[in-house]
């Protein structure tokens, strides 16, 4: 089972190490989680991005000095009801982006709840970033930058205001996460963490999932 993927080096990357990290996006629905991922992974923006049911998965690689960082991104459904599925996705994640919509105070409140849950339930060393999305709609802002920034500071979160539509800060926030993630040997070529299975009765599944790479 462990031989399922050998990470491939992007062309021209012959030296340096390759790290893989599992990253999960969380936040209220319609704040722009899928749009952020789409912008980061494909450089696209769909105005009518359809809602995510369950979760979607995408990967993207970024280069940091001599290290190639491969993100395995789990983009989750935002609706509260899908909450029960969330642990399946954030379990074993080394990074999380919690997204809210700067034009909607409620989504910020929900983001705080997600941060709390991650701090309590996720891997202890998880890198959490807070993204205030939709800055292109700044004229309808209802969450002030300072408010969110201060909250992020208190909780040791990375923080940026982003816009999937204009691409503002989208790559930056992923890069910032990549920088903050520890890149020791444990990650090299073995960052795979798949959500576990209870049903398949895989005895070592649980330990492998939580083993992660960042210890």
Partner 1 sequence: MSEIDTTLDYKFGAQTLFALRHTGEICGSNGLPLTPKSIGILGKSQILKTFKHASLATYLDFIRGKHERLLIVSEFKKQNLKSRLYENKSSVIKIAHQVLKALAYLNSNGIVHRALCAENILLDEKGDVKLFNYGLYHMTNNGLDVEFPIGSVKYMAPEVLVSVLNKNYISGPKVDVWSLGIILMEIIFKTELWPKLKLSQCLRKVLSLIYCDDVLSRFARESDKMQIYQEMDSDLKNFLESCLQVNPKNRSIPEELLKHKIFEGVTEMQFINDFEEENNNGHPLNLWQLHELYYLWQLAGGDVHSELKRNGLIKTKPPILSVPSLILLEGMSFGHIKDPACMLDLKVVPLSLDALTARLKHINFNIYYPLIETKLHLINDLENSDKELENLPLIIRERDTEYQLHRIVLYKRLLQGYPYTRRRIYHEAIKDIPPIFRGEIWAALLDVKGDIENEYIAIDKETPIPTDRQIEVDIPRCHQYNELLSSKRGHLKLKRILKAWVVNSQQYVYWQGLDSLCAPFLCLNFNNEARAFASFSAFIPKYLHNFFLKDNSAVIKEYLAKFFHLMAYHDPILAKHLQEINFIPELFAIPWFLTMFSHVFPLHKIFHLWDKLLLGDSSYPLFIGLAILEQLRDTLLQSGFNECILLFSDLPEVDIERCVTISSNLYFDTPRSITFRKFQLNSSTDKLPYTLTEDMMSEIQKELNPRLDVVDFLELVNSRDTRSNVLVVDARSNSEFGEKSVAGSINIPYESIDFKNDISSGIPSSPELSVLINNKGKMIIIIGQTASEAAKFCSFLTNAEFSKVCFLNGGIDVLLSSGILTQVNSY
Q: Site residues (CB under 8 A) for partner 1?
A: 1, 4-5, 29-30, 47-59, 72, 77-79, 81-82, 84-85, 88, 134, 136-137, 140, 165, 192, 194-197, 199-202, 205
* Closest approach of partner 1 to the CB of residue 80, in Å: 8
- How far is Cα of residue 118 from the mean position of the Cα atoms in its chain? 12
Measured from the CB atom, is 56 or 63 closer to partner 1? 56
* Closest approach of partner 1 to the CB of residue 103, in Å: 8
Measured from the CB atom, is 117 or 136 closer to partner 1? 136
Residues 57 and 55: their CA atoms lie apart, in Å, by: 7
* Closest approach of partner 1 to the CB of residue 121, in Å: 17
Q: Which among 53, 19, 58, 26 is positioned nearest to 39, based on CA atoms?
A: 58
- The dihedral built from the CA positions of residue 26, 57, 122 and 152, taken in this order, carries a sign that is negative
* Closest approach of partner 1 to the CB of residue 78, in Å: 8
Task: Show the DSSP H helices in the chain as ranges.
Answer: 33-42, 86-90, 105-121, 145-154, 170-180, 205-211
H and E: helices and strands count for the chain: 6, 6
Measured from the CB atom, is 5 or 150 closer to partner 1? 5
Measured from the CB atom, is 13 or 49 closer to partner 1? 49
């Amino acid at each position: 089972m462990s031989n399922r993927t050998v990470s491939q080096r992007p062309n021209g990357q012959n030296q340096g190490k390759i790290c893989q990290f599992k990253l999960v996006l969380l936040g209220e629905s319609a704040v722009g989680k899928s749009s952020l991922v789409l912008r980061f992974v494909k450089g696209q923006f769909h105005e009518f991005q359809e809602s995510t049911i369950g979760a979607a998965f995408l990967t993207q690689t970024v280069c940091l000095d001599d290290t190639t960082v491969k993100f395995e991104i789990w983009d989750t459904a935002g609706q509260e009801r899908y909450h029960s599925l969330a642990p399946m996705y954030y379990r074993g994640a080394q990074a999380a982006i919690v997204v809210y919509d700067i034009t909607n105070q409620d989504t910020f409140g929900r983001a705080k709840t997600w941060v709390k849950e991650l701090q309590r339930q996720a891997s202890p060393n998880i890198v959490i970033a807070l993204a205030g999305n939709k800055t292109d709609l700044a004229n309808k802002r209802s969450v002030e930058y300072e408010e969110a920034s201060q909250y992020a500071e208190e909780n040791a979160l990375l923080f940026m205001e982003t816009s999937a539509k204009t691409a503002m800060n989208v790559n930056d926030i992923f890069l910032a996460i990549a920088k903050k993630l520890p890149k020791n040997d444990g990650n090299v070529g073995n960052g795979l963490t798949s959500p576990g299975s209870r049903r398949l009765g895989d005895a070592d599944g649980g330990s492998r999932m939580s083993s992660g790479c960042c210890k």
